A and B are shown apart, each in its own frame.
Chain A
Amino acid sequence: MKKYAKPRVIGSSNVH
């Protein structure tokens, strides 16, 4: 069994 971490969005940045 793998250690669990909450699903989440990490970091957002403009492509340009």
Chain B
Amino acid sequence: MKDLFEEIWESIKRNKLRTALTGFAVAWGIFMLIVLLGAGNGLMNAFMNQGDRFATNTMAVYGGVTSKPANGYQVGRGIELNDRDITITQSALFADYVDKVSPVLYNGPYTLVFKSQHLSTYLCACNPDLLDMNKIELLFGRFINRNDITMQRKTIVLAAAHARELLNGGEDYASLLGKTVTGGGITWLVVGVYKTDRSAQRVEDYVPISTIQTLHNKRNMVGQINFSFHGLTTREENEQFEKTYRAALNRAHKAAPDDESSIWIWNRFTQNMQMDKGTHFIRRALWILGIFTLVGGIVGVSNIMLITVKERTREFGIRKAIGASPWEIMKLILAESVSITALFGYIGMFLGMVACEVMKMTVGQSSVEFFGETVQLFVNPTVGLGISVGVTILLVIAGTLAGISPAMKAARIRPIEALNET
């Protein structure tokens, strides 16, 4: 092995400039591949951040407008979800799949006031089960609990972004616990503060649903039903469940069972499947683009190795005359090709990763205003260990491919012809 590397080193030393130029093409190919994948990852991470905000095994159900006449009603009748729909969702009919159910009723906008600070917000009325479904991460205090619901307490869980505004930029969110804020002419007791990040689209504060229903005399209204489910793993299963579920709700509202616009179902699980498909596609496209760039480098290596074989014809003839088998000669060329590709490939990979880090520190930190929402375009635009391993394998394959035709040419050299060359 050591002998083989010495041979390669000798050969590279004799042709420094040529090797460097060839290596540059390979390094450039890998550099582009890494930067493309890094940028792609950044885009997709930003994308995923939005999706990550909810547990993926949940569905949100809204009322819509009928599109089919049924039971003597004409089309265009608005449907509002109510407590009965909650009961249907929790019934034995769907017990095989449905886990937790929470009604959600958006209310507002309200102006929340604390001391001299005030801000405008929507109140999201819900029950305790929404905590897991919306992946709400509490920083201080607690979430809405059962007692809040049954006793119709006027408690509120504030978003960290709002707590900060109410504290006039202060960070001591815990100091708000036990204090009261006013909103919509009602005094609310702050029981918790939950974490919000910059990329969150709409920030809301949580209150018990029973309180809102009573206050606004919307006894039965729920606005939206969120529920988590299990056991629906394929697209077909999900569609089948949605169909039965929609039919049940439609019947309860005297709409046609197959009316798709009277009840809207937003299935985050299938949504996620769709997104996964999209990201897979993007990732594959980036790999293909990167590999095409790399092909240029490989052709360069192949070209150089052919010239090397031509130059060393006589030497290979001597080696064969004193007993080198064709495979020994092939090994020399292949190893040199793989070495050049791998060495410069790694240089390219290293530079590509540096470029990714630079991207992370510049573009990755900035965000843009998009329809009034703050959106980060790049989140962590780097490549992971898996890709590094993948690239290593790719480089070895590429080097072998580049070397195979020159190596075969070298192995076919006939000693008597090579020795007669001067």
Do A and B bind?
A: no
